[in-house]
Structure 1
Amino acid sequence: MLQLVGKLLRYGMTGGIAAIVDAGGFALLVGAGIGVAAAGISSFCIAALVNYGLTSRFVFRQRKTVAGFALFFVFALVGVTVNVGTMLGTIHWLGVPPLVGKVAGIATAFLINFALNATIVFRVRPR
């Protein structure tokens, strides 16, 4: 159990770094005159690369592969969908303030993405 908690904490740190890369990259691209949609997609993809590299090395201690990144990226897209869906659902159906909805979305997506990455993307395979 302690090992799982350690992975969860490290996953939070790598996700935080990726979030900074995403937001910072977005700001730089928009500042350079790139459209908001293109900047958002580009910064998300760059952050996903950074997040995969950090997560594979520091959280799950596995080597990086193209197939692993592809699966990680698919689950990152699932995470974005869960995040936004939870946010909108809690705001519109439960009537919570937008920031509360966003935090609920982040928390839900974080837990789901961690579970998917721990059990599928970075699962320990028998040798």
Structure 2
Amino acid sequence: MILSKAVRYVFTGGLAAFVDLTVLRGLLALGVPLGTSATSSWLIAAAANYSVTSRYVFNQAISRKRASLFLIGALIGLSINISVTLILVQQIGLPPLWAKLSGIGTAFVFNFLINLVWVFR
């Protein structure tokens, strides 16, 4: 059961990552600073992710309570995501899209676990 949820979460996470990276790239192309672009792209991706994750991964209806819990967990994941992104760009010199991809990957495991044990239990 957990394995099938994890596999489905990979798909929803992939969708969220695609949205995140696409929006990030567009905002950067418009000259929006990296921190603002990364945060904005994440917020848009988080909304899409909650909707799809609720239904497809955990087979639950959308609710305000779960949305609130999801957002709290996602904000912690955001701090992980953005910190990794900024460190890799500013300290290591990676291009922003590669750094963002690393930030997404790092936060992915945390986000799945928090959703599994807290948001959709």
Write the letter of the residue equivalent to 1:48: A
- The alignment's TM-score, normalised by the length of structure 1, stands at 0.70
- The alignment's TM-score, normalised by the length of structure 2, stands at 0.73
Write the letter of the residue equivalent to 2:21: A
Contact 2:5/2:58 (8 A) holds in 1 = yes
What's the % identity of the aligned pairs?
37
Higher RCO structure (Cα 8 Å, ≥6 apart): 2
Partner of 1:106: 105
Secondary structure of 2:5's counterpart equals helix
Q: Which runs of 5+ in 2 are unaligned?
A: 88-93
Contact 2:42/2:78 (8 A) holds in 1 = no
Whose Rg is larger? Answer: 1
Q: Which runs of 5+ in 1 are unaligned?
A: 89-97
Moved over 3 A (4+): 80-85
How many residue pairs match? The answer is: 108
The 1:34–1:112 alpha-carbon spacing in structure 2 relative to 1, beyond 3 Å, is closer
Partner of 2:46: 48
Write the letter of the residue equivalent to 1:16: G
